[in-house]
Structure 1
Amino acid sequence: MYSVYPLLLSNLFFIFIFSFYFQSRSLLLPKNAILPLRIQSIQPGSLTKPPKKLYFNHNISLTVTLTVGSPPQPVTMVLDTGSELSYLHCNKTPTTPLSYDALHSTSYTPIPCTSPVCKTRTRDFTLPVSCDQKKLCHVILSYADATSVEGNLAYDTFRFTDSVLPGVIFGCMDTGSSSNQEEDSKSTGLMGLNRGSLSFVTQMGYPKFSYCISGQDSTGVLMFGEFNTTWLKPLSYTPMVNISTPLPYFDRVAYTVQLEGIKVAGTVLPLPKSVYEPDHTGAGQTMIDSGTQFTFLLGPVYTALKNEFLKQTKNVLRVYEDLNFVFQGAMDLCYRVERSRVGLPVLPNVSMMFRGSEMVVSGQKLLFKVGGLTKGSDDVYCFTFGNSDLLGIEAYVIGHHHQQNMWMEFDLVNNRVGFAEISCDSATQKLGIDS
């Protein structure tokens, strides 16, 4: 979930200490640990470091289930590669019926203001951390979708069946606001998986992680570590973009890749490559974000894509002409589709051309049915690319809807992102996980 505020400078000395701390902890990870929702043992085979598996569900958000605290309490967390700090809702309110009870965990340890952790500079902390009345480290996290949470930093033990991770840093949040209370009621918190020093994947200490998302309202798998995937066709890799100089609108711990062009069927949008590159402020980076549902493009690129898609579908789709309707505030290209029709018509593929690789979006992933909206005998479907400018986001964001039925790999050691088309239902079977 993309953070709306500018990047704060990192405390390099603190990051060095934490890197050593997390690397030391990673040596203690069990050799055959597996992460649930549903868990199966992985045969050692050719694994250089046996992976962990998490089985997840998704609708608007991707969620994983694990346990936290002593004794263990089950929690459900949104999987978010766009965020750093993981957090849990730590009290019960009408909008957050799922919560974690810190008072009943003997391993829960709040972090005081005097701790170096409280002085960490991350993009997630939208305001400088402060001390509350109990001299504990108080943080506020805000996101571009208008959600926010606040509470205290703390340590506790996170568990994945036979894996025990003591002293994981997270946010124990007691207040917050939401743009989607119905979805929030299905989760206990958020698992931050970006490249920051406080992210869950950094604290785990694994060199890479992967996930595969099945179709709408379905399931998938999240895996940490190296594993044998001889049944998976070779991944197409694109390097991550790194900028050493701090820039106000560039998130240096995001999974940033370089978008170089977009084409509809065989037609490349007539735009210069420079329109896809970050400017001198860092605005215009391309991030892969599992915490965002759809894909958002900066205004000039979105307009060019919209016009080309309209041109190529004018004979097979009927535009929904309501100037006052913009789906989710950023998607203004929608269509009327007869409810009696079986399936959507054949649509032109949209390809996002990255440096060294290409991600093809086709078929059902191009249009999304708007729930609860009908016009006569028609349903309304909207184009699944939106306009970043309408959301106030100075970036290209590749959401999880367009990652469905793709194996997504985030290789932290080799500084690259890989992907390959696959049936994720088939992948979970290959991995020995029941649907």
Structure 2
Amino acid sequence: MRPKTTHTLLTPRLRLVMLLILQTFLATSEAKTLALPLKSQVIPSGYLPRPPNKLRFHHNVSLTVSITVGTPPQNVSMVIDTGSELSWLHCNNTTTTRVIPDPLFNPNHSSSYSPISCSSSTCTTRTRDFPIPASCDSNNLCHATLSYADASSSEGNLASDTFGFGSFVNPGIVFGCMNSSFSTNSDSDSNTTGLMGMNLGSLSLVSQLKIPKFSYCISGSDFSGILLLGESNFSWVGPLNYTPLVQISTPLPYFDRSAYTVRFKGIKVSGQLLNISGNDLIPDHTGAGQTMFDLGTQFTFLLGPVYNVLRDEFLKQTNGTLRVLDDPNFVFQIAMDLCYRVPMNRSELPVLPSVSLVFDGAEMRVSGEQLLYRVPGLVRGNDWVYCFTFGNSDLLGVEAFIIGHHQQENMWMEFDLVEHRIGLAHARCDLVGQKLLGLG
């Protein structure tokens, strides 16, 4: 029996600036487009509480968006995560007037803030995000506990308030208002307030706002890109190839039914399909081994038997062009054990074999610099250390295929929740962002 399926929320170590485009059917029947800034921030380890199915990592990028919450509106910055359900904010419950900008949300300064009673059906909604079920506190309010990445915890109440996207407001959004007693890190300038849950769960922002479709496109060249909530019928994006979302009606112990799960069919290297057993690519009878797209994870992690086949083939095809690190004591991010030494005076990487992830009806081709990631700050002699951007799930204790956002760079990714499918198309995401800027 496979162990419980888990996946990762990654903390950022790089800085990027992107563009958020919202198709604002959320607040008006007449379709309009609104542009808002989206960027990443350095978030200290342990700053963000995470659900129990999220693991701790370093050297990673998370995508954040700035919105407003409350009345009058307070600016908050939230990590976007398609692998989590409940949105939550770090809350500051002091009643004093703020003198300087505070990255925390203060419910006492919002006239539209409403805590949720523990007798409410919302409080009894089952969610995988809580290791301990929500309960009643001394004030008969819905009390929730989240785990920190450093094994400590944060507690708070479920509540509702108005979420604003530019000039469009959406009242009554349920979220977690978590206590602000977290560890700070002096080398961080993080202003991140919380997390925006975007999976298929009933409490996710996607479900609460009844969003029928959302899309995103992440550039790998200049870290620009877009996120769209709503329709994305642009002729210049190109035709999409769709892969159906896997849906099961019977609960299985290790299958996350709220995740964006697809059918994994195989892997190609340099266009040639690898010899991988079909049984290694599908969930077992417990539901463990599903394949999910997770915007809250940077890299891609494959089950051990599949990863080993890919690793061996990639190693074979780069023999003679790249020098293997050959250090059995070094594994990047716990699970990425194929690393290379690249001379610091080398202007660019050699030509690399492409890797294509094959899904039911669609493929995702990963090539060039997407395949190797330079480990920040690590030097061996006169060489940088680069690691293969696919990792071994088994080394994480994770029995799932997790497709991270690094492999999704320069792909138009459309999540169609009405037709229950994901559309993929290769795109120049930097150019897509420039074209959409002209729509404002």
**Aligned match of 1:170:** 175
The 8 Å contact of residues 93 and 108 in structure 2, kept in 1 or not, is answered as no
**Aligned match of 1:315:** 320
The 8 Å contact of residues 35 and 66 in structure 1, kept in 2 or not, is answered as no
**Aligned match of 1:239:** 244
SS at match of 1:390: helix
Provide the C-alpha distance between the structure 2 equivalents of 1:141 and 1:391, rounded to a whole number of angstroms: 21
**Aligned match of 1:379:** 384
Provide the C-alpha distance between the structure 2 equivalents of 1:192 and 1:230, rounded to a whole number of angstroms: 30
**Aligned match of 1:91:** 92
Provide the C-alpha distance between the structure 2 equivalents of 1:417 and 1:232, rounded to a whole number of angstroms: 15
Q: Deviations over 1:140-194 (max 9, x none)?
A: 2358997865321110101112211001001111157789997793421111111
The 8 Å contact of residues 34 and 161 in structure 1, kept in 2 or not, is answered as no
SS at match of 2:431: helix
SS at match of 2:280: helix
SS at match of 2:236: coil
Question: Among the aligned pairs, what percent are the same residue?
Answer: 60
Q: 1:252 to 1:30 in 2, by over 3 A?
A: same
**Aligned match of 2:30:** 31
**Aligned match of 2:208:** 203
Provide the C-alpha distance between the structure 1 equivalents of 2:189 and 2:403, rounded to a whole number of angstroms: 22
Provide the C-alpha distance between the structure 2 equivalents of 1:150 and 1:194, rounded to a whole number of angstroms: 22
Give the CA deviation at 1:271.
Answer: 1.6
**Aligned match of 2:76:** 75
Provide the C-alpha distance between the structure 1 equivalents of 2:189 and 2:179, rounded to a whole number of angstroms: 14
Q: Which deviates more, 357-366 or 227-236?
A: 227-236
**Aligned match of 1:262:** 267
Provide the C-alpha distance between the structure 1 equivalents of 2:152 and 2:347, rounded to a whole number of angstroms: 37
Q: Which deviates more, 137-146 or 304-313?
A: 137-146
SS at match of 2:160: strand
Give the CA deviation at 1:433.
Answer: 5.7
Provide the C-alpha distance between the structure 1 equivalents of 2:152 and 2:386, rounded to a whole number of angstroms: 26
1:135-284 alignment, distance < 5 Å? 135-142=140-147, 149-174=154-179, 185-215=190-220, 218-284=223-289
Q: Deviations over 1:14-66 (max 9, x none)?
A: xxxxxxxxxxxx8754534545434xxxxxxxxxxxxxxxx444761011111
TM-score, normalised by the number of residues in structure 2:
0.84
Provide the C-alpha distance between the structure 1 equivalents of 2:253 and 2:345, rounded to a whole number of angstroms: 50
Q: Does 1:423 align with 2:413?
A: no
Q: 1:216 to 1:248 in 2, by over 3 A?
A: farther
Q: Deviations over 1:336-375 (max 9, x none)?
A: 0011111111000011110111110101110101001001
**Aligned match of 2:109:** 104
Give the CA deviation at 1:101.
Answer: 1.4
The 8 Å contact of residues 156 and 179 in structure 2, kept in 1 or not, is answered as yes
Provide the C-alpha distance between the structure 2 equivalents of 1:146 and 1:366, rounded to a whole number of angstroms: 32
SS at match of 2:235: coil
Q: 1:273 to 1:57 in 2, by over 3 A?
A: same
Q: 1:179 to 1:328 in 2, by over 3 A?
A: farther
SS at match of 1:301: helix
Provide the C-alpha distance between the structure 2 equivalents of 1:34 and 1:393, rounded to a whole number of angstroms: 39
Q: 1:100 to 1:144 in 2, by over 3 A?
A: closer
Q: Which amino acid aligns with 1:165?
A: N
**Aligned match of 1:60:** 61
Provide the C-alpha distance between the structure 2 equivalents of 1:165 and 1:142, rounded to a whole number of angstroms: 28
Give the CA deviation at 1:391.
Answer: 1.2
**Aligned match of 1:47:** none
SS at match of 2:232: coil
Q: 1:162 to 1:289 in 2, by over 3 A?
A: same
The 8 Å contact of residues 67 and 77 in structure 2, kept in 1 or not, is answered as yes
Provide the C-alpha distance between the structure 1 equivalents of 2:241 and 2:150, rounded to a whole number of angstroms: 31
Q: Does 1:295 align with 2:300?
A: yes
**Aligned match of 2:19:** none
Question: Across the two proteins, how many residue pairs are aligned to each other?
Answer: 395
If each structure's helix is expressed as a fraction of its own residues, which one has the higher value?
Answer: 1
SS at match of 2:279: helix
Q: 1:145 to 1:346 in 2, by over 3 A?
A: farther
Q: Which deviates more, 425-434 or 295-304?
A: 425-434
The 8 Å contact of residues 5 and 289 in structure 2, kept in 1 or not, is answered as no
| RMSD (Å) for aligned C-alpha atoms | 2.7
TM-score, normalised by the number of residues in structure 1:
0.84
Q: Which amino acid aligns with 1:173?
A: M
Q: Deviations over 1:214-237 (max 9, x none)?
A: 126623211111133011110111
Structure 1: state its 5+ residue gaps.
7-25, 39-54
Q: Deviations over 1:247-300 (max 9, x none)?
A: 011000110001111121133222211110000000000000000010000111
Provide the C-alpha distance between the structure 2 equivalents of 1:36 and 1:209, rounded to a whole number of angstroms: 15
